[in-house]
Amino acid sequence: MSQAREELLDRVVAWFAEHGVGDTSMRALAGGLGTSHRMLHYHFGSREALLGAVIEHVERRERDALAGLLATDADPFAAGTAFWDHLADTAQVFAPLFFELSGHAMATRPAADPWRRRMATGWTDVLARLFRDAGAAPGRADTLARLALAQARGLLFELALTGDRPAADAAMGHFMAMLRADVDADARHRPA
């Protein structure tokens, strides 16, 4: 990806985070960014491709953040808690964008298929690996990954709606303690 495209994509993500996606046309977005709609078409091709690039960009940034936390903390649950803090710190800005784009991914339009697949399976693979590394059996790790993803998305939705960070943090802390106990129990009952 060219540096000019990456810089433009950073600006697009910031603009969408502030203004929402809605039915924003390429022309309106270009006007908001102070560029031409031709430049957007040159770099992204279409509005659907631009939205797909936004999702990939934000996900890549979040995956990099999680990978960094996992690399610096031997305890995957502590890294998971730190990742929640990172997500919650940006929830007021990026959660509305994520949920708006999730709505587009739930649509039955063919252009939304890649987004739907990425949102449905991308994070479950990463989280299942985290739970396997923490000691969960493979099948159990897959189930816990889906549960953790649903919990995080639900709490991000709640946080974006209410702005009640202490309540969201308390719920996530309780959930992480339950996950740790579940994984520890699973590891203890598995044959060596």
pLDDT tens for each residue of 122-169? 788 888 988 888 888 888 999 999 999 999 999 999 998 999 999 999
**CATH number, domain containing residue 66:** 1.10.357
Over residues 38-49, the pLDDT tens digits come to 999 999 998 888
Minimal CA–CA distance to 119: which of 139, 138, 100, 141? 100
d(C-alpha 44, C-alpha 5), whole Å:
8
Q: Which domain holds residue 126?
A: 48-189
Give domain status of residue 25, yes or no: no
128 is written with which tokens?
Answer: 């299942």
Residue 32 inside a domain? The answer is no
- Does 95 map to a domain? yes
How many angstroms separate the CA atoms of 44 and 56, rounded?
13
pLDDT tens readout for residues 56-71: 888 888 888 988 998 8
From residue 33, how far is each of 36, 47, 50, 110 by CA, in Å?
8, 15, 14, 28
In this predicted structure, what is the pLDDT of residue 116?
Answer: 76
Distance (Å, whole) CA 111 – CA 113? 6
Query: Total domain count for the chain?
Result: 1
Least confident of 16-20, 106-110, 151-155, 179-183: 106-110
176 within domain boundaries = yes
Tell me if 120 is assigned to some domain.
yes
